[in-house]
Amino acid sequence: MTEQMPVITGLGAITPLGLSYKDLWQGLCDGKCGIDRITAFDPAGFTCQIAGQVPEFKIRDYVPKSMRKTTKLMSRDIELAVVAADEAFKDAGLTTKAIDEANITINPERTAIIFGAGLISCDLVELAPAVAKSITDGKFDIKKWGAEGIEHLTPLWLLKYLPNMPACHVGIIHDIQGPSNSITCAEAASQLAIGEALQIIVRGSADVALAGGGEAKVNPLIMLRQCLNKRAATEYNDNPKDGCRPFDADAKGSVFGEAAGCLVLERLENAKQRSAKVHAQIAGAGASCSINAQYEHLEPDGKGVQYAIESALEQAKIKPEQLDLIIPHGTGIPQDDIAEARGIRGALGSAVDKIPVFPTKSMISNTGAAGGAIDVITACCAIKDGIIPAAKNCDNINKDCKLNISGKKVNKEINYVLCCSYTYGGQTAAIILKNEN
């Protein structure tokens, strides 16, 4: 089976720590935190006023000249995906239509794109002027909206917000004509997308797949939703960098952010033929349902997490003791972190006491559909450099979590890494990476 399992040959990331995956890794190693007071809009009226925002970038720099018109149709989620995809193909040493039309080295029909996307929120700034034209006696008038208000929206308005559009734009830019899917499983989306891309390559439907996810969560509507559901940390508005504390006793909720992460997956044979550098091999992927009548939270015993990890271990044909690193979902929402820790322990047993655990959201924030891919990228970098960065904001581990999280950087050879993710709604994923070198 391992012969058939695809390898990762390209990485791309845009995160609050920078505009490349190298910035991401450097930031994590340096203990940088990308969380700060929100500047995208005035957050004063919100219970949580902090988030992870990506540094400034110009989308035009990532789109070939002939396609720049299409950037007008890109919501921020789409832009983030386009940036990360560009880096991933370049890092893989693959030439696509966008990179150099005269020397294309991918076979478009044999290239797939499987992307995790969130519910792209309509831009309220764009809707507001149209709503303002639809008021009768001080109240919103749906009839007037239908008759007049909607005329103030650009005709292609809807196309900015369909969740398959990040994959479609990336597909058009790089000419990806093979299987294409957009996985909409919130915070588990990108690891489920990576798992599906793996299946697509193993079954022979494509030779190369771009997989990952992206989401722009720093907007008023999403922040409101997270605040209303009491998932957002509200007690760290004056100390943003301390705000996201996965598995920590002082955790008060998650901090949300924006990012995209892309991986190029490739048949091992394909990668060897073109002497591509290999970041890691995907040794196993598992998925499951967590079930909880409180749909916004993980089930208290973490059973779904346990099942997903067990499936991934089974596919990778390894024992828990062989894992050198775990990158958990770790949101900073205490009851979810406790449940996740139970699920991890349920799957790995006492082996878990010795395996280093490195949560990333304290530095990157919770970037929704991007998060799982960002963690897999982080795992690839850890494997390559043999480094586990120091965890941040986990100085006082919650006694119910009992994970081996260290505030000190560790140098060690890393052979196998486990990444896991779950979401409100219960879809759960686990991925195991193997050091190929």
- Residues between 4 and 63 that touch other proteins (CB under 8 A): 41-47
Q: By C-beta, is 20 or 134 nearer to other proteins?
A: 134
CB of 370 to other proteins, least distance (A): 15
CB of 358 to other proteins, least distance (A): 26
Residues in a beta bridge with 405: 357
241/83 Cα distance (integer angstroms): 26
Query: Are the C-beta atoms of residues 281 and 265 closer than 8 Å to each other?
Result: no
Counting residues that bind other proteins (by CB under 8 A) gives: 98
Q: Which helix (H) or strand (E) holds 169?
A: helix 165-174
Query: Are the C-beta atoms of residues 209 and 111 closer than 8 Å to each other?
Result: yes
Closest Cα partner for 436 from 414, 406, 420? 414
CB of 62 to other proteins, least distance (A): 16
Pick from 205, 335, 396, 404 the residue near other proteins by CB under 8 A: 205
237/240 Cα distance (integer angstroms): 6
Stretch 354-413 residues interacting with other proteins (CB under 8 A): none
Q: By C-beta, is 39 or 396 nearer to other proteins?
A: 39
Stretch 213-272 residues interacting with other proteins (CB under 8 A): 220, 224-225, 227-230
Stretch 127-146 residues interacting with other proteins (CB under 8 A): 127-129, 131-132, 134-135, 139-140, 142-146
Per-residue x/- track, 306-325, other proteins (CB under 8 A)? -x---x--------------
Q: By C-beta, is 32 or 174 nearer to other proteins?
A: 174
CB of 378 to other proteins, least distance (A): 23
12/15 Cα distance (integer angstroms): 10
Closest Cα partner for 412 from 376, 383, 390? 383
Q: By C-beta, is 28 or 189 nearer to other proteins?
A: 189
CB of 63 to other proteins, least distance (A): 13
By three-state DSSP, how is residue 377 classified? helix
CB of 160 to other proteins, least distance (A): 9
Q: By C-beta, is 103 or 155 nearer to other proteins?
A: 155
CB of 154 to other proteins, least distance (A): 7
Query: Are the C-beta atoms of residues 50 and 236 closer than 8 Å to each other?
Result: yes
CB of 159 to other proteins, least distance (A): 5
Residues in a beta bridge with 211: 114, 263
Q: By C-beta, is 27 or 195 nearer to other proteins?
A: 195
Q: Which amino acid is at 293?
A: A
Question: 135-136 and 111-117: which strand pairing?
Answer: unpaired
CB of 31 to other proteins, least distance (A): 32
Q: Which residues are within 8 A (CB) of 72 and not within 5 positions of it... i.e. 6 or more apart? A: none
Chain centre distance of CA 264: 15
CB of 129 to other proteins, least distance (A): 7
303/342 Cα distance (integer angstroms): 8
Q: By C-beta, is 270 or 315 nearer to other proteins?
A: 315
Cα separation values, 229 from 109, 212, 234, 249, 432, Å: 43, 26, 12, 21, 31
> Half-sphere exposure (CA, 13 Å, Cβ side) for 133?
13
Stretch 161-190 residues interacting with other proteins (CB under 8 A): 161-165, 167-169, 171-172, 174-186
Structure tokens at 294: 């409180």
Q: By C-beta, is 23 or 266 nearer to other proteins?
A: 266
The number of beta carbons lying within 10 Å of the beta carbon of residue 219 is: 23
Pick from 9, 365, 427, 435 the residue near other proteins by CB under 8 A: 427
Per-residue x/- track, 88-127, other proteins (CB under 8 A)? --------------------xx---x---xxx--x-xx-x
Per-residue x/- track, 263-302, other proteins (CB under 8 A)? -----------------------xxxx-x-x-xx------
